[in-house]
Structures are given as structure tokens and as C-alpha cells.
């Protein structure tokens, strides 16, 4: 009974797999004779780690359970009895693996689990890096009438990263050509270029300049700066994932030193005076109040 209550409580936490309409786990149905494995993950400084991938495989190396840690670094997953392998993976950290013995209707707590930084993820060498336009994307996602999402990107842009000896002192600057916006529908793109939205005739460029880089943990960074859009400048903060640096040899590369990262941000249209709005008969807005920005950057040392 104690185990049943614990299962019911943990199944409601954000870190457990979503339940299907029939009540089982959507990916790995829970056997009636299962056991429960739980733990809490922290980094080398003792900080609790959310969004760590937890995978359990059996003797045949088949996945029998998987989830992610919640905002407090905790996880719990029900699996069939037996001796299994549990693995933890998170960007910027070494993979952690251990054996766990699961018994019928028993709770197998692993307690506090520490993971170590991945030393191979070295910060970029100091110098100037320029965005590679063929391997970089600046995308956006906006909500349409509350039912679907519109995806688009800027086709023409230029960006530089000035990496300082102390990485936190580095600077990033990006310029996007407003008329290069592309959602795949000409009528919509023409409207987005008009004075209702980007007003490209009066404001041909969007300009981002960073003013602070803050290390969050492992491969995660916070990039604070300001974006100028339609002549209005407003603060913006990007959540960035550093992907590392590589030197490439071969056709088209010539031993280039490259760095890469992914970054996301959310912009509010009203912060940039993009206030055009139309509503449907029931008061539903045609365009949502926020726009999600997604960057996949690969930059080359110049």
C-alpha cells in the first residue's frame, strides 16, 4: 500500500512520463508486478539538476523506462523486476551509469546522485568568430488564432562573436535584414514586411547586441542584451546551450576553427510597438502576443 501511494504521488510530478488515456505510461506500460526506482541528481557544486535524461535498460539492452528529472532534480520510474542498467545524461556532463536491482512491489531509492562536468567541452579560443550563413539559422515561431503555429526565418544576416580571454567578457552582435523574412507564404511575408509589423522601408534591419554573458551550469549560458526592432530597443535574454568547438579538415573547410551553440528567447510584440491586431468574431486574436526566437549558430574564427 505504501508503494502504491508513493507511485500515485510521484506520477503527478513533472519528471515522470505522461500517462496515456488508459492510465498506463505512454511509452513503457507499467507492469502490475513492477518496482519503483527513484533518485535525485545534483552537479559537482551540489546544485539540483532539472531536465536530466534518465534511461533504464534491461539485460537485452532494451529500454524499459525513461523520464527526465523535475525542477528539483528528482525522478521516479516504475519498471519490471530484475537487474537493470540506469543511465543519466545531460548536456555538459559526463554520462553516469549504475546497476539497479528492482524487486516486485519494492521501492529502490538511489538517493542523491552526483554528475561531473564534461571536461572535453572546452570554451572557445579568444578571437573573433563570424557566423557561417550556410550552417546558421535564425528562426521564429508565432501563434496563429490560438490553433496553430507559424514558422519562419530570416534568410540574410550577419553575426560576430568576439571571444574574450575571460569568456564572460565576450560580446555578440547580430544584424538581420528585415526584408529577408520568410514564412513560405508570399502574401503573409508581404504583410510582415509592411508598416503593420516590421516596416522594412523605414527600418531595414533588426540589430541585437549583447552586454553580458552569465554561466548558468555546464553547457548552459545566459546571454543578456538588447534588440532593436522598428527603431525601438528593448532588453532581451537568450538561453544558450554551448555545443563546443571543432577544427574541420576537408572540402570547404580548410582547417577552420568553428564554434557552435543553440539559443532561444521569447519576445513580446508590444515591447517593440508591433501592435497590429485583428480578432475573430469570438474575440480570438489572429496573432499571439509573443514570438519565440530560435538560433542555431555555427561561427568560424576569422
Question: 155-208, pLDDT tens digit by residue?
Answer: 999 999 999 999 999 999 999 999 999 999 999 999 999 998 999 999 999 999
Same domain, 54 and 197: no
Low pLDDT (below 50) residues in the chain? 1-3, 5-7, 9-27, 279-285
Q: Count how many domains the chain has.
A: 2
Same domain, 163 and 266: yes
In a domain, 288, yes or no: yes
In a domain, 119, yes or no: no
Tell me which residue has cell 526566437: 293
Domain boundary pick from 90, 114, 138: 114
In a domain, 203, yes or no: yes
Same domain, 139 and 198: yes
Same domain, 9 and 133: no
Residue 248: which CATH number? 2.40.128.110
What's the confidence (pLDDT) of residue 230?
92
Domain boundary pick from 114, 136, 167: 114
In a domain, 279, yes or no: yes
What's the confidence (pLDDT) of residue 52?
96
Q: Which domain holds residue 84?
A: 2-114
Same domain, 150 and 95: no
Same domain, 105 and 131: no
> Do the bridges between strand 82-89 and strand 107-114 make them parallel or antiparallel, or are there none, so unpaired?
unpaired
Give residues with Cβ within 8 angstroms of 174, minimum separation 6: 131, 138, 157, 158, 159, 207, 208, 209
Same domain, 131 and 11: no
In a domain, 120, yes or no: no
What's the confidence (pLDDT) of residue 30?
56
What's the confidence (pLDDT) of residue 13?
44
Residue 27: which CATH number? 2.60.40.10
Same domain, 99 and 21: yes
Same domain, 46 and 149: no
In a domain, 190, yes or no: yes
Domain boundary pick from 82, 114, 146: 114
93 Ramachandran zone, left/alpha/beta (phi>0; psi -120 to 50): beta
> Could you tell me the pTM of the whole model?
0.75
In a domain, 285, yes or no: yes
Same domain, 35 and 162: no
In a domain, 122, yes or no: no
Same domain, 50 and 102: yes
What's the confidence (pLDDT) of residue 146?
60
Same domain, 158 and 44: no
Amino acid at each position: 500500500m505504501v508503494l502504491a501511494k508513493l507511485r500515485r504521488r510521484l506520477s503527478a510530478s513533472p519528471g515522470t512520463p505522461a500517462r496515456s488515456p488508459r492510465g498506463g505510461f505512454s511509452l513503457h506500460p507499467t507492469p502490475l508486478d513492477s518496482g519503483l526506482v527513484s533518485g535525485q541528481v545534483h552537479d559537482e557544486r551540489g546544485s539540483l539538476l532539472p531536465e536530466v535524461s534518465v534511461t533504464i535498460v534491461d539485460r537485452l539492452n532494451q529500454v524499459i523506462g525513461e523520464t527526465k528529472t523535475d525542477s528539483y532534480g528528482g525522478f521516479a520510474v516504475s519498471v519490471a523486476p530484475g537487474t537493470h542498467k540506469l543511465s543519466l545524461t545531460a548536456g555538459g556532463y559526463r554520462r553516469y551509469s549504475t546497476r539497479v536491482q528492482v524487486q516486485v512491489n519494492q521501492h529502490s531509492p538511489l538517493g542523491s546522485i552526483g554528475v561531473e562536468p564534461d571536461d572535453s567541452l572546452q570554451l572557445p579560443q579568444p578571437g573573433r568568430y563570424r557566423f557561417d550563413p550556410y550552417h546558421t539559422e535564425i528562426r521564429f515561431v508565432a501563434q496563429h488564432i490560438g490553433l496553430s503555429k507559424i514558422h519562419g526565418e530570416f534568410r540574410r544576416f550577419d553575426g560576430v562573436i568576439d571571444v574574450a580571454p575571460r569568456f564572460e567578457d565576450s560580446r555578440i552582435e547580430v544584424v538581420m535584414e528585415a526584408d529577408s523574412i520568410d514564412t513560405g507564404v508570399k502574401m503573409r511575408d508581404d504583410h510582415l514586411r509592411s508598416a503593420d509589423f516590421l516596416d522594412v522601408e523605414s527600418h531595414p534591419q533588426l540589430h541585437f547586441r549583447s552586454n553580458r554573458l552569465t554561466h548558468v551550469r555546464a553547457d548552459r549560458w545566459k546571454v543578456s542584451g538588447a534588440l532593436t526592432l522598428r527603431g525601438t530597443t528593448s532588453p532581451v535574454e537568450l538561453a544558450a546551450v554551448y555545443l563546443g568547438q571543432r577544427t574541420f579538415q576537408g572540402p570547404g573547410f580548410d582547417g577552420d576553427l568553428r564554434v557552435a551553440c543553440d539559443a532561444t528567447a521569447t519576445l513580446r510584440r508590444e515591447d517593440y510597438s508591433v501592435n497590429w491586431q485583428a480578432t475573430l468574431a469570438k474575440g480570438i486574436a489572429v496573432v499571439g502576443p509573443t514570438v519565440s526566437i530560435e538560433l542555431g549558430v555555427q561561427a568560424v574564427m576569422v
